[in-house]
Structure 1
Amino acid sequence: MEKDLVKRAHDAFNHGDYQDAITLYQQAAYQYGQSLFDVNIRICEQRLQKPGQLMKRVPKSSDAIPVAQQLAETQELLEYYYRRCQELEYRLNDAG
C-alpha cells in the first residue's frame, strides 16, 4: 500500500480531489522528503482556492524555474527514486 502512495496522490490530483491529494502528498513528503512534494502540495492548495485554475502570484527570487517545470522535474525524480528503492529492495530479498 505504501508503494502506491505517490500514485494515489497523483490519481487524486488528476480526479480533482485536491484535499485527498494534499494528505497523500504530505504522507509521501514525510517518507521521501519534504522538498520533493512542496510544489505538489502548493498546487493542490491553489486549486482548492480557485478550482480549475492555478492562482497567479508574484514570483519570488526562489522561483527561478516555473512551477510547472519544477513539478515535472519533481515527479521525474520521485519516480526515479521509487524505482531505485524497489531495485534495492529486490536485491536485499535476493541476497537474504
Structure 2
Amino acid sequence: MEKDLVKRAHDAFNQGDYQHAITLYQQAAFQYGQHLFDINISICEQRLQKPNQVIKSAPKSADAVPVAQQLVETQELLEHYYRRCQELEYRLQGAS
C-alpha cells in the first residue's frame, strides 16, 4: 500500500531531500489546507539555503521545544487526525 502524502513528505524531510519534501508538502497543503504546512515548507526552504546549519528555535527555556521536534510532533498529530477522519467517514458511509 502506498504511503500517504504527508508521511512521504515527512520521510523525504528526514532523508534530507528537502526539495522533494517541499513538493509533497505543497501538494498536502493544497489538499488539506495551506496553513497546516506553511512551517514545514519554510523549514525545508531554510534547509536548502543553509544545508549544514541547524534551524534555530526560540531561546531555550526549561519547557521550550526545538522547532524540529515541534515539526515531528505536528506531523504525527496531523497523520493521526487524518486517519481518524477517514475512519469516521467510512463509518458514516456504512451507516447509510
Runs of 4+ in 1 over 4 A off after TM superposition: none
Residue in 2 that maps onto 1:62: none
Structure 2 contact 56–67 (Cα < 8 Å) conserved: no
Aligned partners of 1:56 and 1:69: how far apart in 2?
A: 12
2:51 is the alignment partner of 1:51: yes
CA gap of 1:31–1:76, structure 2 versus 1, over 3 A, is same
Aligned partners of 2:9 and 2:32: how far apart in 1?
A: 14
CA gap of 1:76–1:7, structure 2 versus 1, over 3 A, is closer
Structure 1 length-normalised TM: 0.73
Structure 2 length-normalised TM: 0.73
Offset at 1:88?
1.8
RMSD after superposition: 2.9
Residue in 2 that maps onto 1:42: 42
Moved more, 2-11 or 30-39: 2-11
Instruction: Note the residue ranges of structure 2 that are not aligned, 5 or more in a row.
Output: 58-64
Residue in 2 that maps onto 1:84: 84
Structure 2 contact 10–75 (Cα < 8 Å) conserved: no
Cα deviation 1:59-96 (Å, max 9, x = unaligned): xxxxxx96446534532441232122221232134235
Instruction: Note the residue ranges of structure 1 that are not aligned, 5 or more in a row.
Output: 58-64
Report sequence identity in percent. Answer: 82
